[in-house]
Structure 1
């Protein structure tokens, strides 16, 4: 077995028997009541702006949710635990952080000075309270269903989902705060501005990213049992500190006045502050995915049945980019229906690998599913889910997408500068 992966847990986990489950439920209910009270105040004062903020940031969460749901393709996290992680971030972590950050900010003003709190409060108080509150959400997942955290990648996904829930609720609060500060009544313009700044410009390297980094540390602590406890705790602490430091740097006044306020300057600051933690998390995701893929693909390699998986499919299944390339090749060769069939076949093969790792009776049903999807592919004249030669169109599309993203960022920054 790979040192970074443990066998998948059985599907039926007696969550209701876990004391931690009921503690988390109580905390979620308390958090939901608190957030509902805040929402009621917002709707009472600014109904249109509040509804607009909820809809905009709710839609903003959708692509992040879909991406995170697909991140661990080979051994997906249970939907219930993903919802719980998101709810912890949106209800518990936010309801704790709102008063907690204010209290710590006041403490900084008393122990230091009001000027220190005004300049550095957001960089010190907010990250300290918020990152701890969010990380406790991943710890709660471990306490409820420890066997479901069987790779570092699981910790990353749960941490990112906690961060996503926090990010959405916090952004709605900030949007309505901007409406109130504008003093123009129930207008949506401050909401749109907040969406551009906190969603569009800062969303990719915000709480979802910080949560993923801290979650990687919890995943390491739980999974890497061959390491000493001291080392695992140290790595988890270092990951939490990394999340705190990334958050603190993002909120800090560092570089704020270094480049001016032109569009290129603001874009440079966004990249300098946000790109390093983003690249670090992408590296951790890639490394964790490769370790997990090596484990599950290794299990499938022992099957030695081309009706279930071929040598070429083994190679494609172990890489996200190659899985995508196989689907694109199927679409180009046999149409969209073949692309969907390849995706279903890959999903069934991944499920088979997980069931084989558990040594459960479910492997037989998964094998039957694989054969059905292969038969569907064969009927389309496309019997094997393999990647084709790298297309220049895909490379051009990737470069074009990156260029378009930078162009849209430029336009958004220009619009904010002239608003």
Structure 2
């Protein structure tokens, strides 16, 4: 028998659940405006791509393939940030497309024009040293932030927490990063003057994709997106406060970008891979930590709200008290899946993941007061039966097992990342 949950008021919640985005999108003028901008950006990028395809076809294929592969883990991590209230794939694609088609085609001529202004108002020497640090971030961060604003205009109901702003901002930044890196790779091929060779593409991939990707446009976009999300959802704050926080977030993204592009420590902290690695950490770690804190805080607020919805259910077949606690934290969800894998095999791991997703979706539907609750109650029960047949009826990890595994995993991942960075820098000769 399907449980009838008691609904909580969304008005006082830190998140504001919205209906499905498919409802009425095409009736909104903003949708057609954004679509027109995407078409114009695609046409412009098509012209640029056609020029490179004619001159350097194999290099273009290599660049597109390498950076497309790089986009996969970034896409997975960003889309998983908001596990409890996942964003519609169509809007994630739109955000990615804005960054790759609109923001890039605006930024290429815009940054060049602003660089010329800096040279005229200041000096050619100033433009040579600081043009990339001042012109690029100023144009690019505005163009990318407008992508998150476009999502708000199209589907305001889908921006219901600060974390949503982070996700959409990161997706815009990811689209920008991938397309810009492909353009830079092809520029490196042309600059090398050796014809249709892929060596400059591989070098650009290591430098701009692998070494710089972790603290590049995806990160800057996430910072700015957090500000837009705060402006939209925090109706409990004054408009002046919300505008101030939004402007501060965009300024933070701009400042992080300026620091990354700046000539500071251009000569490094000495010679060799270790010195260059130290410079990368010095410039990239502050915004990375800031974004992590924002994501952690926003995730915790959202998790408290949605798990409170599940707590209104009085049916352990749908969710147990221990599972509610596990759903609140990404590390505990991962530990529950790992424990199922060790205890009952890969099928149990997959069933726990599907159960967690179904429970998260059920919490969202409860918050919306959706008539579709019976469907998701049925899905949760179906995954529960699968786990019961596998001898693992509850999606949790025993106390004491999860934290040790998470610590070991974090240490191993950090060591592996440093080793790979070291190898990549050494392969480039520390240059």
TM-score where L is the length of structure 1: 0.98
- Larger CA deviation: 259-268 vs 391-400: 391-400
- Residue of 72, 95, 118 corresponding to 2:82: 72
Q: Note if contact 2:273-2:422 (Cα within 8 Å) is conserved in structure 1.
A: yes
- Partners of 1:129 and 1:205 in 2: how far apart? 18
Residue 417 of structure 1 aligns to a residue whose secondary structure is coil
Note the C-alpha offset of 1:4.
2.5
- Partners of 1:62 and 1:227 in 2: how far apart? 37
Residue 417 of structure 1 corresponds to which residue in structure 2? 429
Q: Note if contact 2:276-2:430 (Cα within 8 Å) is conserved in structure 1.
A: no
Do residues 367 (structure 1) and 377 (structure 2) align?
Answer: yes
Q: Note if contact 2:59-2:198 (Cα within 8 Å) is conserved in structure 1.
A: yes
- Residue of 15, 19, 22 corresponding to 1:9: 19
- Partners of 1:51 and 1:69 in 2: how far apart? 26
Residue 90 of structure 1 corresponds to which residue in structure 2? 100
- Partners of 2:64 and 2:245 in 1: how far apart? 37
Residue 255 of structure 1 corresponds to which residue in structure 2? 265
User: Structure 1 residues 190, 299: closer, same or farther in 2, change over 3 A?
Assistant: same
Residue 343 of structure 2 aligns to a residue whose secondary structure is helix
1:108-127 superposed matches below 5 A: 108-127=118-137
- Partners of 2:397 and 2:238 in 1: how far apart? 41
Residue 377 of structure 1 corresponds to which residue in structure 2? 387
- Partners of 2:43 and 2:242 in 1: how far apart? 36
Note the C-alpha offset of 1:305.
1.2
Residue 401 of structure 2 corresponds to which residue in structure 1? 390
- Residue of 356, 362, 368 corresponding to 1:358: 368
Note the C-alpha offset of 1:396.
2.8
- Larger CA deviation: 386-395 vs 357-366: 386-395
Residue 406 of structure 1 corresponds to which residue in structure 2? 418
Residue 294 of structure 1 corresponds to which residue in structure 2? 304
Note the C-alpha offset of 1:3.
4.4
Q: Note if contact 2:84-2:360 (Cα within 8 Å) is conserved in structure 1.
A: yes
Residue 62 of structure 1 corresponds to which residue in structure 2? 72
What RMSD over aligned residues (CA atoms) do the two structures have, in Å? 1.2
- Give per-residue Cα distances to partners, 1:169-198, cap 9 Å, x unaligned: 000010011111111111111100000000
Residue 428 of structure 2 aligns to a residue whose secondary structure is helix
Note the C-alpha offset of 1:418.
7.1
Spell out structure 1 runs of 4+ moving beyond 4 A. Answer: 391-394
- Larger CA deviation: 60-69 vs 215-224: 60-69
- Partners of 1:313 and 1:145 in 2: how far apart? 32
- Partners of 1:74 and 1:8 in 2: how far apart? 14
Note the C-alpha offset of 1:258.
5.1
TM-score where L is the length of structure 2: 0.95
Residue 429 of structure 2 aligns to a residue whose secondary structure is helix
Q: 5+ residue gaps in structure 1?
A: none
- Partners of 1:24 and 1:319 in 2: how far apart? 35
- Residue of 225, 239, 250 corresponding to 2:235: 225
- Residue of 324, 347, 356 corresponding to 1:314: 324
- Partners of 1:205 and 1:284 in 2: how far apart? 15
Residue 45 of structure 1 corresponds to which residue in structure 2? 55
Q: Note if contact 1:329-1:386 (Cα within 8 Å) is conserved in structure 2.
A: yes
Do residues 24 (structure 1) and 31 (structure 2) align?
Answer: no
